[in-house]
Homo-oligomer: A and B are copies of this chain.
Amino acid sequence: MARLWYRYAAMNAGKTSSLLQVAHNYEENGEKVLLLTSALDDRDGPGLISSRIGLKREAATYTSSTNFLERLKDVEVACVLIDEAQFLTVDQVRQLHRWVHTNDSPVMCFGLRSDFRGDPFPGAAMLLTLADNLEEIRTACRCGKKATMNIRIDEAGERVQEGDQVLIGGNSRYRQVCARCFYS
């Protein structure tokens, strides 16, 4: 049975590298994949998936108005891979879940859980609710503990606690922290 996966992590854990590795593994087996990323995230140009470690690859994009039941209708691939999946809407996650289980075709999503204020991304919360398999990609806080939260910093490196949920602008404005450091 095909599954909807959510591989979640804090910032800077290697989510995109993990996605590109999965794509590579399928293709080494002679199979096709579809890569999608959010049109919100234009830090490397629209439709480019790039990881901090240096891997890059073109991808199709989705917006908040994409209907995935339409978008995936005639797609025939071994796996659909979605980066920045915290930007999916709640309805889009429902569409993906239904598509996986009525087409028996897997979808793997990669993304965050909570924003810099500790609030959920709505699409991420729905992925955590519906995904058949949840997998964490671990990374460490500077204090050495497992990072589960994210903070936003301003240009001077000071922590910012208020503002809009989304401020796309590269890794330099966000940092992963453990929950203890988040509260202190």
Give A contacts to B, CB under 8 Å.
Answer: 1, 4, 12-14, 17-18, 20-22, 24-26, 28-30, 52-55, 78, 94, 97-98, 100-102, 104, 113-114, 118, 120, 124-126, 128-130, 132, 134, 136, 139-140, 142, 144-146, 148, 178-180, 182-183
Contact = CB atoms under 8 A, between A and B. Distances in A.
Nearest to A129: B120
Given A25-B140, A118-B130, A120-B126, 13 more contacts: A12-B28, A14-B21, A14-B24, A28-B52, A54-B55, A101-B179, A101-B182, A104-B180, A113-B130, A124-B129, A128-B128, A130-B148, A130-B179
Nearest to A181: B101
A174 B175 CA distance: 40
A48 B53 CA distance: 17
Nearest to A175: B29
A11 to B, nearest CB: 11
A145 to B, nearest CB: 5
A183 B17 contact: no
A180 B94 contact: no
A58 to B, nearest CB: 16
Nearest to A145: B1
A179 B27 CA distance: 21
